[in-house]
Amino acid sequence: MEPDDHVCLCHRVSLRKLRAYLKREQPPVASKLSECLNAGTGCQWCVPYLESLFEQWQDGKIGQVSMTPEQYAQRRTAYREDKKRRALEEHTAKQAQANKQQSD
Ligand code: FES
């Protein structure tokens, strides 16, 4: 990824902004990155990448995300579709259980 590519696609937070936030704020924990324009507070796809950027920063490195923006976006789409599918399955299972309890 290049500096102006978005790491948090939900809130359009770029790699550059996250690097600047880490340098300026020196957060004690990775979760504080959410204070950088709400990064990671939407679908949560980017949270592992935010944690990785935090760890790289702690190690004195310039944070990188090693994939193209297109690959990143495609994986996020798959993540969100999988999340929706699992939520639907969970809802269906709960509904089936409720229906069974009513018929018992
Ligand atoms: S991509 Fe960051 S919360 Fe969705």
Q: Along the 104 residues of the chain, how does pLDDT read in single tens digits?
A: 999 999 999 999 999 999 999 999 999 999 999 999 999 999 999 999 999 999 999 999 999 999 999 999 999 999 999 999 999 999 999 999 999 999 88
Query: How many separate domains does the chain show?
Result: 1
For residue 63 and ligand 1, the question of a CB distance below 6 A is answered with no
Where in the sequence is the domain holding 55, given as residue range(s)? 6-103
Rounded distance between C-alpha atoms, residue 45 and residue 79, angstroms: 7
Q: Look at residue 23 and tell me if it is in a domain.
A: yes
- Does 16 map to a domain? yes
Cα–Cα–Cα angle for 36, 42, 47, rounded to 5 degrees: 65
CB of 9 closer than 6 A to ligand 1?
yes
Residue 1 belongs to a domain: no
Ligand 1 atom having least distance to the Cα of 47: 2
Q: Is any ligand 1 atom within 6 A of the Cβ of residue 46?
A: yes
The pTM for the full model equals 0.89
